[in-house]
Structure 1
């Protein structure tokens, strides 16, 4: 029997038949592998829209229309950025993360862990203000709109102008108190007035707008930045610089964030308050600084997002997580003096 098989294998016809049979079997095997592989994948159209994005619910609660394009083209130019602690300054070593860029050419002059997410505290209100001014631009709001104080707004803690149920104010007054004094109750009322009292819906808009602006490491928890069950809104220095750049589109807002002192409520109102700007860079008159916001994170320390014009050059920066506000302000002063020479 073995001799017979050897004789058949030696014949040309048998050898040809074996080669053809092996080829056919090989092709069938390849087709089978491809079929199994393709059918083991979930078609793209069946995947949730937010697949792979931590913290996002699988269903969008409200329709989202992308906001207007940003004024700061992306990406930023990091090619010549100085990284880490600047000039070995003590104050620089106290900074957890930060960035300084020149708006005109998108050039980053300095950065330290600029893409590291950090708690931002009351700095979160900048997104509330951006959405509000974009709504004014779109015609759905005006600065003269009158807004009545809700019971929920009076219960917001932290820095406030002590809104009372029964009072009503023009939107411009509420924005001024949020921009100058950092009033959390006003910020909350501004947000909820745009979503029929539902802050959660407004926070969705905040996070959608962050996505529009490619603020990929930013997550807002509320409209004003106060902690929620020990957690805070998070962002990065780079993301906040992009947010600040959008706010530069609105000179009126920039004017208010750069105001040293103003008043809330009418002159004859016994509840009238003096609003002093918490931003020491503005209140202290640091040359060229015209806003935007400061705030303390309970988790990491003192933060500031600032804008400054010197010798026709516009700088925007963020300095995050400094244990002492004096060191934060000293560093920004040194940083801007250094930037002028670059």
Structure 2
């Protein structure tokens, strides 16, 4: 894909701004450059879990899974989980998407992956789950992405890799699914964990500082040493077309930024200005460059 030059300085190693409706690339920098994406990985993990829940006709609000000791490995654990605790799938997804909870995501991925294993297979639940993440990645048209774990933590050995364009493709796919959006849009939520027969209440807060401002309504933050500070946000605004207000939606992806929230605001503002300048031309014709899958 061609580089689309921004009209203002950006410090992120890579970024892309996309029109959600058409998939058109409005602004980009190093969109195809391979990079680690930290907890943005959890977008794909959440999609695999929701896919499995739908396929097996399970209710995420009631299905409980047990926290394995392997999940208590460091990294974010905002629920304060201990091995042997139980959480619902719903609680785990809210914790993973809102608060970037690695312990919860490992727990859900192992539980779901165990159920995916066919008889006679000598593979772990986590590996089967990651295999499905990569199958999903290929099926929705991600071209430069390889997942190695369900949470995005830096690993020794093989490193997970993606790029800004692929993260945007993933976000476009995810944001078309109402079941996904509910986990990516809340700023605060009270959830429960179960420990030794007791139900304990925990308050979750989103790590996305922009939620609820400037029309921003999703989706995910991520930070590791290798990936730097990363962010995907979605935003909605009405723009005038032929004198009528018409809703528009943008997706911004920021990878390895010294100030991801500032850069997201700058990108979104530029995008709204670009779309507004088109006025009545908005929505006419085909985009020059689209990240939506060609078969859509």
Same fold (TM over 0.5): yes
Is the aligned partner of 1:103 residue 2:103? no
Q: Match for residue 254 of structure 2?
A: 319
Q: Kindly state the Cα deviation for residue 220 of structure 1 after the two structures are TM-superposed.
A: 0.7
Task: Say which structure is richer in helix.
Answer: 1
Q: Match for residue 220 of structure 1?
A: 147
TM-score (norm 1): 0.69
Between 1 and 2, higher relative CO (CA 8 Å, sep ≥ 6) is seen in 2
Q: Structure 2 CA distance, aligned partners of 1:205 and 1:157?
A: 24
Q: Match for residue 277 of structure 1?
A: 206
Q: Match for residue 222 of structure 2?
A: 295
Structure 1 residues 141 and 249 mapped into 2: Cα distance closer, same or farther (>3 Å)?
A: farther
Q: Kindly state the Cα deviation for residue 162 of structure 1 after the two structures are TM-superposed.
A: 2.6
* Unpaired segments ≥5 residues, structure 1: 1-77
The list of structure 1 runs, each at least 4 consecutive aligned residues, that deviate by more than 4 angstroms after superposition, is 266-271
Task: Say which structure is richer in strand.
Answer: 2
Asked if the contact 1:226/1:232 (under 8 Å) is kept, the reply is no
Q: Structure 2 CA distance, aligned partners of 1:247 and 1:149?
A: 26
Q: Match for residue 139 of structure 1?
A: 56
Q: Kindly state the Cα deviation for residue 186 of structure 1 after the two structures are TM-superposed.
A: 0.6
Tell me the SS of whatever aligns to 2:214. coil
Equivalent residue runs for 1:120-139 within 5 Å: 120-139=37-56
Is the aligned partner of 1:206 residue 2:133? yes
TM-score (norm 2): 0.79
Q: Structure 1 CA distance, aligned partners of 2:58 and 2:17?
A: 33
Structure 1 residues 156 and 140 mapped into 2: Cα distance closer, same or farther (>3 Å)?
A: farther
Q: Structure 2 CA distance, aligned partners of 1:101 and 1:137?
A: 29
Q: Structure 1 CA distance, aligned partners of 2:110 and 2:186?
A: 25
Is the aligned partner of 1:256 residue 2:183? yes
* 1:22-70, Cα deviation, whole Å (9 max, x unpaired): xxxxxxxxxxxxxxxxxxxxxxxxxxxxxxxxxxxxxxxxxxxxxxxxx
Asked if the contact 1:121/1:232 (under 8 Å) is kept, the reply is no
Query: RMSD over aligned Cα, in angstroms?
Result: 2.3
* 1:112-134, Cα deviation, whole Å (9 max, x unpaired): 11111101111111110011112
Is the aligned partner of 1:118 residue 2:38? no
Q: Structure 1 CA distance, aligned partners of 2:173 and 2:192?
A: 29
